Chain A
Amino acid sequence: MDILKFITAGSVDDGKSTLIGRLLYDSESILADQLEALHRSNRKNDDGTIDLAILTDGLKAEREQGITIDVAYKYFQTDKRKFIIADTPGHIQYTRNMVTGASNANLAIILVDARKGVIEQTIRHSYLVSLLGIQQVVVCINKMDMVDYSEAIFETIVNDYKALAYKVGLQNVKYIPVSALKGDNIVNESLKMHWYEGKSLLHFLETVELKRDESTAHARFPVQWVVRPQTEELHDYRGYAGRVSSGSFKVNDKVTVLPSGFHSTIEKIEVLDAEPEEAVAGMSVTIHLKDEIDISRGDVLVNTEYQPQTAQQIEADLCWMDTRALDTSLTYFIQHNSKLTRCKIQEVLYKVNINTLEKEFGEEFKLNDIGRIIIKTAEPLPFDPYQTIKANGGAILIDSRTNVTVGALMLRSSATD
């Protein structure tokens, strides 16, 4: 059994929390005491049924305001799969929260209100999903009960969305007409929409084949920690501990250490007492090399034949996440894998109006803004373009005054003149 991580994009008004509540409720993933708390609560829908949205509203502040202000994680499983939902808010002022949730998702559910169709926020959510490199999208056209379960309305929205998907570069898109409130096509197939021949949302989530790009990509292994017991019997023991971020490494593979550029061969792979012949993407292991090389945290082992770019000036997409605007005169920290170094934003190329997808020039980079920049780092970074190997193309910016994470970077290419 594997794990599917997905995000839900949409706003409260689209019935997003209700949709998640419905998934949990109808798949019997709510335990007795949580159900009791749900029934005890006095929030009800207009027709007197319990408000399932309560299941995802975690914080007091949110319950008071009736909105989702952070990322909440929910867990459920069926016979076929385990699921992790990152429930993120949909309003534009929470773009950073959506970017955060999307950074770890394999799939995105985009909610569209059947009465409103494709609107500004649909464009925004779809753009972010594409920017963060989520491979699979499910467009749930919700509130079908409010439009008499009309096939014509569904078809119009599907056609509108197809144009948008093409524009933002989304390739794998599935369309499902649903009513989260009434439970149509969420877990159980709807009896009201015989014209729809597909299966329910849950069925799709259970069976969709995930393209795990990282497992077939070039081999990358950021070193997190050097294991050196320095005891009498293990005097010369030196193992490099880390997690394979993409591809796979086998014993006897030729590897290069970056950024130093030294070459060696893998002698042994260890996981406690086991010695597997191969370490694949996602595995946390300890690697031993045949040669003694100076390697420390922040270095990365790569397959010698397929090396990443190594650069100090890099063009990247940036999502700004702090209330204080980006300051090109400041020095920030950049964290890429286990590497932490200083950097400056050398140039802001443009910002993207994420509601219209038009470029904007010469403006300040503020909270929730997204655009293209060039950074200059104090030390060279070995990276792959984010859209090619996500695991080696994402980085964060940290404000050196507050230590807060202020930006998400999707690295694109070397910008050395």
Chain B
Amino acid sequence: MSKHTLDYLDELEAEAIYILREVAGQFEKPALLFSGGKDSITLVRLAEKAFRPGKFPFPLVHIDTGHNFKETIEYRDKMISRIGEKLIVGLVQDSIDEGKVVEQKGKNASRNTLQTVTLLDTIARHGFDACIGGARRDEEKARAKERIFSVRDEFGQWDPKRQRPELWNIFNGKIHKGENVRVFPISNWTELDVWNYIRREKIELPSIYFAHEREVITRNGQYMAASPFLNMDDEDIIERRTVRFRTVGDMTCTAAVESYAYQIDDIINEISESKISERGARMDDKVSEAAMEDRKKGGYF
């Protein structure tokens, strides 16, 4: 009999495919939350491995703050036409127009927290019972405790004290009407695993992940892309720098790092040696030590 054991990337890939198929098998109306970032792009690749030559048993859903990097949107539309799957876009602007959320004011205004409302609305409107996301447990310590199948109540809330036990690879997706489950197939991957997988699978990414010249300003010791969405004043000095983004989110809360990593090999070297973890480049987690836990309880991804 075979003594073969799987390499770690093969093992992580097989686990993620298994989880995606469990979603397909257990839920009536799942969706894949697609942000245009490398983690959700990786999920799309894994979904191809799970379901081709069939169609995906779920649409892709993009919660659009309107404050996007144009490269992300271009990438998204090109990818959708390549894979031939359905895309649903939930606009934060609609939530603002409907008066459900109020735009933040001041210098550090961002639509990042507003998207929770748009997300919950989109889930309710389409009746999604499971939302697949690209979150990883190594990102942050509240995430480190989240289940792979994470049940949310009617209000989208995560209750860390009432999580279901998750045993072996048996995932309990049974829910009541109105509840939904967030599913994280790449929970056990690290940032470096994702990059190694992208290299191995030759997956194309939005160009802003790679080093490029860009106008930036410095906020709280971090580089932010200068854009009409960022409230700037006289104190903000615009300079041109060679940077890249380690995560791709809303333009007002995603910081760039100075980098000359033009190729994926450079990026992998950079991350292997890097001394700042990935979420360290997200302004939204810096507010307090329990920032992520509090946002997740409120329905944030």
Binds A, one of B44-52, B62-70, B98-106, B224-232: B44-52
Taking CB as reference atom, which chain B residue is nearest A409? B167
Least CB distance from B4 to A in Å reads 5
List A contacts of B48 (CB < 8 A): 272
Residue pair A408, B167 in contact (C-beta under 8 Å): yes
Residue pair B145, A70 in contact (C-beta under 8 Å): yes
Cβ of A331 under 8 Å from chain B: no
Residue pair B21, A241 in contact (C-beta under 8 Å): yes
Tell me which residues from 199 to 222 in chain A have a Cβ below 8 Å from any Cβ of chain B.
212, 215-216
Taking CB as reference atom, which chain A residue is nearest B53? A229
Least CB distance from B144 to A in Å reads 5
Residue pair B24, A225 in contact (C-beta under 8 Å): yes
Known: A60-B290, A395-B170. A227 touches B14 (CB 8 A): no
Residue pair A3, B8 in contact (C-beta under 8 Å): yes
Known: A225-B24, A237-B53. A215 touches B3 (CB 8 A): yes
Checking B168, B188, B279 against A73 with a beta-carbon cut-off of 8 angstroms, the contacting residue is B188
Checking B55, B161, B167, B277 against A405 with a beta-carbon cut-off of 8 angstroms, the contacting residue is B167
Binds A, one of B171-179, B208-216, B240-248: B171-179
Cβ of B2 under 8 Å from chain A: yes
Measured in the bound complex, the distance between the Cα atoms of B17 and A193 in whole Å is: 47
Residue pair A31, B275 in contact (C-beta under 8 Å): yes
List B contacts of A321 (CB < 8 A): 165
Cβ of B284 under 8 Å from chain A: no
Cβ of B190 under 8 Å from chain A: yes
Binds B, one of A122-130, A144-152, A277-285, A369-377: A277-285
**A-contact 0/1 string along B1-37, CB 8 Å cutoff:** 1111111101111110110011011000000000000
B interface, over-half SS? loop
Residue pair B50, A284 in contact (C-beta under 8 Å): yes
Residue pair B167, A243 in contact (C-beta under 8 Å): no
Binds A, one of B85-93, B134-142, B250-258: B134-142
Residue pair B167, A73 in contact (C-beta under 8 Å): no
Residue pair A224, B145 in contact (C-beta under 8 Å): no
Measured in the bound complex, the distance between the Cα atoms of B165 and A234 in whole Å is: 41
Cβ of A1 under 8 Å from chain B: yes
Cβ of B81 under 8 Å from chain A: no
Residue pair B49, A33 in contact (C-beta under 8 Å): no
Taking CB as reference atom, which chain B residue is nearest A243? B18
Measured in the bound complex, the distance between the Cα atoms of B274 and A212 in whole Å is: 34
Residue pair B164, A404 in contact (C-beta under 8 Å): yes
Residue pair A61, B280 in contact (C-beta under 8 Å): no
Known: A58-B144, A84-B188, A224-B21. A284 touches B13 (CB 8 A): yes
Interface size on A, as a range, is 35 or more
Measured in the bound complex, the distance between the Cα atoms of B141 and A58 in whole Å is: 5
Known: A69-B161, A408-B165. A335 touches B170 (CB 8 A): yes
Checking A84, A283, A335 against B14 with a beta-carbon cut-off of 8 angstroms, the contacting residue is A283
Residue pair B1, A247 in contact (C-beta under 8 Å): yes
Taking CB as reference atom, which chain A residue is nearest B281? A33
Residue pair A32, B5 in contact (C-beta under 8 Å): no
Measured in the bound complex, the distance between the Cα atoms of B47 and A225 in whole Å is: 13
Taking CB as reference atom, which chain B residue is nearest A3? B8
Least CB distance from A6 to B in Å reads 14
List B contacts of A333 (CB < 8 A): 174
Tell me which residues from 372 to 406 in chain A have a Cβ below 8 Å from any Cβ of chain B.
390-391, 394-396, 398, 403-405
Binds B, one of A98-106, A107-115, A160-168: A98-106
Least CB distance from A210 to B in Å reads 8
Taking CB as reference atom, which chain B residue is nearest A85? B144
Known: A2-B8, A32-B277, A394-B167. A73 touches B25 (CB 8 A): no
Which A residues are within 8 Å of any B CB, using their own CB?
1-3, 31-34, 37, 41, 57-61, 69-75, 77, 82, 84, 96-97, 99-100, 103-104, 212, 215-216, 224-225, 227-229, 234, 237, 241-243, 247-248, 271-272, 278, 280, 282-284, 297, 321, 333, 335-338, 390-391, 394-396, 398, 403-405, 408
Which B residues are within 8 Å of any A CB, using their own CB?
1-8, 10-15, 17-18, 21-22, 24-25, 48-55, 57, 137-138, 141-142, 144-145, 160-161, 163-170, 172, 174-176, 187-188, 190, 274-277, 279-280, 289-290, 293
Other A-B contacts than A225-B25, A247-B1, A408-B167, 9 sampled, CB-CB below 8 A, are: A31-B280, A73-B187, A82-B8, A104-B168, A215-B2, A282-B14, A297-B25, A390-B168, A396-B170
Top-8 shortest CB links A-B? A33-B280, A31-B277, A284-B17, A32-B275, A403-B174, A58-B141, A224-B21, A284-B14
